Amino acid sequence: MRSVTVSFMMMLIVLSVSTNVQAHDPQNYTILLFEDGSTPEGVVPGILVENDSLFVRNHDTRDNVSHRLIVDLDADGVFKGVDDYSTQWLNSSCDLNETGEKIDQNCNVHEIINLVASNGFLQGNISIKHQVKLGDNITEFDFL
């Protein structure tokens, strides 16, 4: 009888511990870049995990303005390292030809950042900076 009671108690402990464990399905986060900042203004530290993705789109319609995000994927404090990532400079729109194709193939309005190990992402907190280029001047803001 005592072994049944001990077994029952062990099963209860295992079940109570396992109910606190949660799986994390890959999440897609949208970041919109505007003249007066971004929406959202940042991502809660620790919320991004491997296989999540960030969809970044420029909505700043000012002339000669582009935006980009630079990401410290390996949390070493350096944003231009081998294992770090930066989006292309994003415009609010791209000129199209008569068939609807981009005239300048390097022009982009959005980009997806995949947080995967093959891109250099190490599990843990990452840091992101938001850069705005107006003509030749670049302004930088902390995003996370």
Q: What is the pLDDT of residues 19-42, one digit of tens each?
A: 444 556 788 999 999 999 899 988
Domain span holding position 30: 23-142
Residues 33 and 89: beta-carbon distance below 8 Å: no
Q: Phi-psi category of 8—alpha, beta or left, where left has phi over 0 and alpha has psi -120 to 50?
A: alpha
Inside any domain, residue 3: no
144/142 Cα distance (integer angstroms): 6
- Residue at 73: amino acid letter: L
pLDDT digits (tens, 9 = 90+) for 59-93: 999 999 999 999 887 778 888 888 788 999 999 99
Number of domains in the chain: 1
pLDDT digits (tens, 9 = 90+) for 91-124: 999 999 999 999 999 999 999 988 887 776 766 6
Q: What is the pTM of this model?
A: 0.75
